Structure 1
Amino acid sequence: MDVWVGSYTSATGGNGAGISTFRRAADGTLTPDRELPMLSPSWLTAHPSAPVVYAANESDDGVITTVSTDLEVLGATSSGGAAPCHLVVSADERYLLCSNYSSGSLSVFALAESGRITGQTDLVRHEGRGPHKQRQEAAHVHMAVVRDRIVSVVDLGTDEIRSYELMDNGKLDPLSVSAMPPGTGPRQLVRRPGTDVAYVVGEVNGTLVVVREEQPGLFTPVATVPATKEPWENEAPNWVAHLEIVGDRLYLSNRNPDVITEFDIAAETPVALADHPSGAWPRHFAIADGTVYVAAQRDDAIVTFPVEGGAQVRYPTGTPTCVLVR
């Protein structure tokens, strides 16, 4: 099994190669394998069934690159906005949705059965701002989450989750707007399987927000907790980044505290159990077979450790931003 790593490259102030791959052994250890140069692929998403991976090339003139699982470029398409930062394939595998952070927009692209992008079908732009003058001066779309035909779009700049219905023709029909607590700066939304509960990363104010999905695509905040177990009291803010759910545990990455915080989510209000050291600036991580793989961006390394915490292993790679376990 492979681990793919996206990185910032020199054009955007990083020192990564583009996409790097590692071979993953049965015990979780990694061996460097191949590299594919390209401009700052800060997010990677694998097609659910076709042998392709999509890369969001985070630049002012955003691009989506389609790559074969043999690490060959199959095509490049304008993302329709600036600084694309997240990609997701629709439940029926007919569409790819791209979040453009700087332009505050969401693009929709039609997909062939092969996974190739065949054209853009829609583009929606958000308007608004939040109370944080530096981070919320405008709309900043950071993630789209898909459940059946419902697309829920997380906007860091406006403190909102805007939901749409994805129509058969690839158009987005507005459905609802859910307000998050002012100054939250929502970055990601992850549903807890089998429940009406979901969790929102508050990047700007360093929190984890519990929301209830009262009807499809409409979310109501029910609890907010700090994003770390130990209080973060420092002039540098805690830019919370990525979360994953494994059973009744939730794992959340914290930049500046530089820890992955483990939460018990058996009850409605999450309980922080431990802050696991993760390397500097843990922008993203993946969990596979009991091992956490962290993109420690400012350490120029993938940092691994057991999900319950323990000894770290570091694998050098330039300015990693995203980890995809395949």
Structure 2
Amino acid sequence: MWTGTYTPDGGGRAEGIGALRADGNGRLEWLGTAVDAQSPSFVAVHPTLPVVYAVAEQQKLVQAYRRAGEFALEPLGAPQPAGEAACHVASDPQGRFITAACWGDGQVILYELDSDGVPARRYPAPPSVDPHASLSPGEPRQSRAHASLMMQDGRVMTTDLGHDTLRIWTYEAGTGLVADHEVVLPFGSGPRHLVQHPGGNVFVVSEYSVEVFVVRLEAGTFELVFRGPATAGGALEGDSAAEICLGADGRFAYTGVRGSNRISVLEVGSDGSGLLPLKDIDSGGDWPRHHLVRGPWLHVAHERSDNVATFALDPGTGLPGPVLHDAAAPSPTALVPAD
């Protein structure tokens, strides 16, 4: 498993992309720094080639790396320019391109890949327009793209945390991302990360309002069908939501909340159109930036306490038990399976 991190230029203590190994009992072992890099806060893996992509958030770059041994990486090709505070990178399941979302200026950039997985051409997407502009006249809000989701139908959905909008794009070779349509979320919600349920609905967690939203596909267009709390106990002062992921069978979703440092378990409605909070648990560290479910285990990366906490999930209730294992890892900001 690769870890995105913050290095000193981003206020962290890491040296680059990290590597963890899981044993058969879900316990993680810190293997060390796979490659020196400047604040690679999010990483992605090519679907077929031994290539890893990372943003350099403070440097406004995206870089490809080639695997060079069991857990080592080496730079592949030249770094590619990105936008301000490039904070997320995602890989096309067919290996045609990667996308980078830039929190600082709202850019979404597509990079077409050559046969070796190296970014060869760069296509910035059209700039966004704030659909809520009339609610804050004279105070324009900055677009803040935060994540990209490669969807089941081949389109790409991106979050705009600054403009409270989900944008859906189609990919055209030689052109990049072409705007398809958008879904406007409530003013001030701040959609951050998202995941697609096997049934096709997309679940979104909002950073500012600490809520979850469900958008459903109808005749080629997504529409908002659900809005609810992201936690069982409600948002507390200073909270901000970070990540949402699904359990292995899609019956439960898991949200992470920084500040009060909680992981919340939500039950997915029978038709995938609603999320019911069941229980909040202590995340096992400080500032749960990212988490994922891998088999029967939930791994939670804590940016400020330099650890990844592992929980065993009850197969019936979806609830985590006590912390099973705690692995030291410097300033982890993302957990991405290497294979």
Q: Does the TM-score normalized on the shorter chain lie above 0.5?
A: yes
User: Gaps spanning 5+ residues in structure 2: where?
Assistant: 314-318
Unaligned runs of 5+ in 1: none
The answer as to 2:161 corresponding to 1:153 is no
Deviates more, 1:75-84 or 1:183-192: 75-84
Query: Partner of 1:163 in structure 2?
Result: 168
Q: In the superposition, relative to structure 1, how do residues 269 and 172 fare at CA in structure 2: closer, same or farther (>3 Å)?
A: closer
Measure the CA separation in 2 of the matches of 1:270 and 1:290.
21
Letter of the aligned partner of 2:8 in structure 1? Answer: S
Q: CA deviation at 1:57?
A: 1.2
How many residues align? The count is 317
Residue 88 of structure 1 corresponds to 90
Partner of 1:55: 54
How far 1:48 sits from its partner (Å)? 0.8
> Could you tell me how far apart the structure 1 residues matched to 2:96 and 2:175 are?
8
Q: What is the CA distance between 1:146 and its match in structure 2?
A: 2.3
2:198 corresponds to 1:190: no
1:115 and 1:292 map into 2 onto residues whose CA distance is: 30
- Residue 256 of structure 1 is matched in structure 2 by 259
CA RMSD of aligned residues (A): 2.0
Q: Which amino acid aligns with 2:142?
A: A
Q: Deviations over 1:183-226 (max 9, x none)?
A: 1111122221133x22111111110112222243x332222111
SS of the residue corresponding to residue 53 of structure 2 reads strand
2:2/2:336 contact within 8 Å kept? yes
CA distance in 1: counterparts of 2:99 and 2:169, whole angstroms: 12
Residue 129 of structure 1, CA deviation: 7.6
Q: 2:244: which partner in 1?
A: 243
Q: Is the 8 A contact 1:129 1:139 kept in 2?
A: no
Per-residue deviation, 1:269: 2.5
Q: 2:289 corresponds to which residue?
A: 283
The secondary structure found in structure 1 opposite 2:330 is coil
Offset of residue 283 of structure 1: 0.7
TM-score by length of 1: 0.91
In structure 2, how many angstroms separate the alpha carbons of the residues matched to 1:28 and 1:172? 38
Rounded to whole Å, the distance in 2 between the matches of 1:161 and 1:22 is 33
Mapping of 1:105-254 within 5 angstroms? 105-128=107-130, 137-147=141-151, 148-195=153-200, 197-216=201-220, 218-232=221-235, 234-236=236-238, 238-246=239-247, 247-254=250-257
Aligned to 1:11, the other structure's residue is in SS state: helix
**1:4/1:323 contact within 8 Å kept:** yes
Contact 2:40 / 2:54 at 8 angstroms: preserved in 1? yes
SS at match of 1:124: coil
Stretch deviating more after TM superposition (100-109 or 168-177) = 168-177
Contact 2:290 2:300 in 1 (8 A): yes
In the alignment, what sits opposite 2:75? 73
Among 20, 23, 27, the alignment partner of 2:21 is: 23
Which secondary structure state, in structure 2, belongs to the residue aligned with residue 310 of structure 1? strand
Overall identity of the aligned pairs, in %: 28
Instruction: Tell me the TM-score normalized by structure 2.
Output: 0.88
Residues 20, 81 of structure 1: CA spacing in aligned structure 2 closer, same or farther, 3 A cutoff?
same
Matches within 5 A, 1:268-279: 268-278=273-283, 279=285
- Give the C-alpha shift of residue 160 in structure 1: 0.9
Quick one: distance in 2 between partners of 1:15 and 1:182? 35
Match of 2:321 in 1: 310
